Amino acid sequence: MGYWLMKSEPDVFGIDDLERVGVEPWEGVRNYQARNMMRDEMKTGDLAFFYHSNTTVPGIVGVLRIHREGYPDDAAFDPDHKYYDPKSDPDNPRWYRVDVAFEEKFSEVIPLSWLKQQPELSDSPLVRKGNRLSILPITEAQWRFIMDHAHRR
């Protein structure tokens, strides 16, 4: 099983939105490294932390599950869609997405400021300076550490 962290701005699509709809395509990722993780590495059943970014208190707010493995992001083919990419071609898609399913909302945000202070997370790309990817791999040990903290609150 793989473990991930997936970032979204809560005013665009937050944990409450995912809880309401249950399953949703994670579309609009326009970074090749993040695209490759969705296309090549994420598997059905993998778990991911839902991270709220670009907000007053950025941090982990819950858990989602990969519901469907990577497939072409057809928003890239629609000229009327905000994620349209004129260089993307249905015969040779440039962008991919996964479907995610709601699993759990934490009672409190686990703030980035707290995550950065934890020695157990010092080698995580999340706390490394300059890492702005919207999708990040998480080790099993890091996953368990964060989950233990979330359930103690």
Q: Which CATH class is domain 3-152?
A: alpha beta
Task: Give this prediction's pTM.
Answer: 0.95
Task: Give the start-to-end residue ranges of the domains of the chain.
Answer: 3-152
Give residue 20's pLDDT: 98
The pLDDT tens digits of the residues spanning 126-152 come to 998 877 899 999 999 999 999 999 999
Note whether 55 and 15 are within 8 A (CB): no
The pLDDT tens digits of the residues spanning 48-80 come to 999 999 999 999 999 999 999 999 999 999 999
The pLDDT tens digits of the residues spanning 1-29 come to 999 999 999 999 999 999 999 999 999 99
Closest CA to 106 of 62, 148, 136: 62
Give residue 128's pLDDT: 87
Give residue 28's pLDDT: 92
Burial of 103 from C-beta contacts in 10 A (0-12 / 13-18 / 19+) = middle
Above 80 in pLDDT, residue 153? Answer: no
